[in-house]
Structure 1
Amino acid sequence: MSSTTPTTQSWQGRTVLVTGAEGFIGSTLVDLLVERGAHVRVLVHYKPYAERGHLARYLGPGSPVETLAGDVRDAGRVMDAVTGCDTVFHLAALIGIPYSYASPEAYVQTNVAGTENVAAACRRHGVRRMVHTSTSEVYGTARTVPIREDHPLQPQSPYSASKIGADMLALSYAHSFELPVTVVRPFNTYGPRQSARAVIPTILAQLHSGAQEIRLGSTTPTRDFTYVTDTAEGFLALAECDRAIGHAVNLGTGREITIGDLAQSLIRASGRPARVVTDETRLRPAGSEVERLLSDNSRARDWAGWVPRVELEEGLARTSDWVRDNLRLFAADRYQV
C-alpha cells in the first residue's frame, strides 16, 4: 500500500482517549467514536458541582464511555488516562481569544504544558496514534491564499501563540522520540453545541432573542467555516493516515465569507430581520485581528480521503434551529469572552 493512501480501520473495540471531550468538537467526536463501536475514555475537567453537559447521555451504568475527571495540567492524571489506549485525541485547551488578553499565563499552562503532558504519556504508553488539535489562528492574517500548512505562523494573540507552542512541542515529540503524532488544524468549526464565545452562535442567540440590532466587532474579516461533523470526521480520518504522522494537516472547506455577509446569511436562516451594528467592546486590539483565513485542504483530501460534506447554507440552518431550541443556554444580552 502506498504511504499516501489512507488506511481504513475499524474502531470497533479499540480503546480511545478524548481530552476536552465535554466541548463542542470533542463531544461530537465522542458521538462518532461510540457509533463506530470504540470503547471511549474521556478526560473531563473536574467540577465539584453536578453539571452533566454534552456528555450527559453517557453518564450511567452500561455506558460505552468511561469518564475520568482531571486536568491536562496534572501529568500524573494524564498518565493514568492514557494507560491502555490505542489512540489519543487531544482537544483539551483554553480557546477564547479575548480571555487570552486577560490571562495569557493560563493559556501557556493549559495549552503548552498540558500538551507536553499528553505527548509524554503517549510516548510512555506506546500509543498507536496521538492526534493533537491546533487551530487556523496560528496562521494569523493570511499572507497568501489559500493557506497551506507551510504558511508562516504568526502569533497575533496570546491564544494563537500558545497553540503555536503546543503544535511545535507535539511535533518535536515526533522528531525526537518517533511519537506517531499528527497535528490537525481545523479552520473555523461551527454547529450545534458551540458556545456563545464564537461568532455564529453569538449572532443566532441575539436573533432568536428578538434583537433588532446584532452587535458585532469587525465585520470585514473573512473566515472558512467547517461544520462540526465534518471536522470530527477529519479527526478520525487523520488518525488512520500514516502519511500524516509528523505533519500538520488543515481541515477547512476552501470557501471564505466575510463576517458581515455571514451575519446576513444568519438573518435569512433564522427568519428574523435585524441590522448589524458595531460594538467597540467586541473589537480585537490593533494588530491582533486576523483579517483573512482561507484553507488549502489538499493534504486532508489527498492523504486521508477527507472531504467536507455539509454546505455552509445547510449548516447554518441546522445551527440556527439548534440555537433556537436551546436558547436557555445563551445570555444573548451579554458579551461572552
Structure 2
Amino acid sequence: MLNERILITGSKGFVGNSLTSLLKSKSFEVFDVGSSNTLNLCDWEAVKNIPKSEIIVHLASKSFVPDSFKTPLSFYNNNILSTLNILEKAKIDGAKVIFFSTYVYGTPIYLPIDENHHKSPKNPYTQSKLIGEELCEAYFRDFGVPVTIFRPFNIYGAGQKFPFFIPTVISQINNKAIQLNDSRPKRDFIYIDDVVEAVHLSIIDNDKFFRIYNLGSGVSTSIKDIVDAIINLSQSKARVHFTNEIRQGEILDTIADISKIQNELNWKPKISITRGLRLTIEYFKKNRDT
C-alpha cells in the first residue's frame, strides 16, 4: 500500500492540509493540487494530464453556503464539473476515488441519522454535492470506478478559519461581549484528526466497491454549550449575548449514526468535544497572526 500514489485535490484547505500531513507522515507518496490557482479542475485538458494515481481524494469545492445563494452558477459549475473530471480521470487511470460530500439530510425525520435517511438539500452547495454523489454512483455502476463517499457533519479543529462557527467564537474570547443569534441548535461536531483518520482507513482498506459513510461523533452539542465550554477552557471573562434571532428553516438537532463506518472500517472518533475545543483554542493562541 505504501508505494501507492495518492492525489489530493484541495490539499491546502482545512481537511486537505491535515490529510496531506498525516499521509506523508505514514510514508505515502502524495501528489497534491492546492486550488484552482495551481490547476483548474474544471478544465479536462488540465486534469487528464495530471500524473497517474492509484487513489484520488477529491476535497476541492466551493463550500461556503451563504455564497452559494449569491453565485449558484459558479457553485454548480465548479463542484459538479470538477467532480466529473476527477471521476473520468479515475476511470482512465483505474484509480479509486474518495469523495467528500456534506450533510445532506435536511431536517431529520429521526435521530440518529443513518446513511439511508431521506436526503433534503436546502441550498445550492448541498445540491451540488448530491449531484456529485450521483455522478460517483454512476461511474461505479457504469465503469466500475470504486468510490467511497464521506458525509461529514460539523468538522472543526486546529486550522479551521473564520467564518466558521467555532473559530468565530474563539476569535472573540478576548472581547468583553460575544454576540450570537440562536442558542438552541444542536450539532454533531467531529474533530479534524478523527476525520482524516477515517480517510486513512479507507485508503488502506483498498476495497473496490461503492460505499457511503457518515462522519460524526454520534453526539450532539448545543451552540450554547459549545460557547460556554470555549469561555471556560480559555478562562475568558467575555459575556455571551444571544439575540434569539431564528434563522429560516433552522435545523434544531443533528446526530450522526456512525455504526456503518464503525463496522466496516473499524473507525470510531477518539477526540471528545472538550479535548477538541482545547486543542483548537491552543492552536489559535499559537497562530493569532496567521
Task: Report the TM-score when normalising by structure 2.
Answer: 0.94
CA offset digits 1:104-139 (Å, max 9, x no partner): 111111211111111111111111x11000112x11
- C-alpha distance in structure 1 between counterparts of 2:251 and 2:77, whole Å: 24
- Partner SS for 2:56: strand
Helix, strand or coil: the match of 1:206? coil
- Alignment root-mean-square deviation, CA: 1.8
Alignment check: 8 A CA contact 1:145 1:294 kept = yes
What percentage of residue pairs aligned between the two structures are identical? 29
Question: Are residues 1:80 and 2:80 paired?
Answer: no
Structure 2 partner of 1:31: 21
Match of residue 67, structure 2, among 99, 110, 118: 99
Could you tell me how far 1:217 is from its partner in structure 2?
3.3
The aligned residue for residue 134 of structure 1 is 101
Q: Give the alignment partner of residue 71 of structure 1, picking from 13, 17, 40.
A: 40
Aligned pairs for 1:68-217 within 5 A: 69-81=38-50, 83-127=51-95, 129-136=96-103, 138-207=104-173, 210-217=174-181
Instruction: Check the 8 A contact 2:217/2:269 in 1, yes or no.
Output: yes
1:245 alignment partner in structure 2: 209
**Equivalent pairs, count:** 290
For residues 10-56 of structure 1, what are the alpha-carbon distances to aligned partners after superposition, in whole Å with 9 as ceiling and x for unaligned?
4x222110000001111100011101111110112244xxxxxxxxx
Aligned to 1:112, what secondary structure does the other structure show?
helix
SS at match of 1:70: coil
TM-score by length of 1: 0.82
Supply the AA of the counterpart residue of 1:249: Y
| Alpha-carbon displacement from aligned partner over 1:188-244 (angstroms, at most 9, x marks no partner) | 11111101121111100111xx21222323322111111111100101112343668
Distance 2:271 2:210 in 1: 28
Contact 1:18 1:42 in 2 (8 A): yes
Partner Cα distance (2:239, 2:6) in 1:
46
What 5-or-longer segments of structure 1 have no aligned partner? 1-9, 48-68, 330-337
Letter matched to residue 26 of structure 1: G
Report how far residue 76 of structure 1 moved: 1.9
Matches within 5 A, 1:32-47: 32-47=22-37
Per the alignment, in what secondary structure is the counterpart of residue 130 of structure 1?
strand
* Alpha-carbon distance, 1:320 to partner: 0.5
Gaps of 5+ in 2: none
Letter in 2 for 1:130: V
1:308-335 residue CA offsets vs partner (Å, 9 max, x unmatched): 1111101100101111222224xxxxxx
Contact 1:182 1:244 survives alignment (8 Å): no
Choose the corresponding residue for 1:319, options 257, 265, 280: 280
The alignment partner of 1:267 has SS state of helix
1:245, CA displacement in angstroms? 2.5
**How far 1:283 moved relative to its partner?**
6.5
Quick check: 2:13–2:34 contact (8 Å CA) kept in 1? no
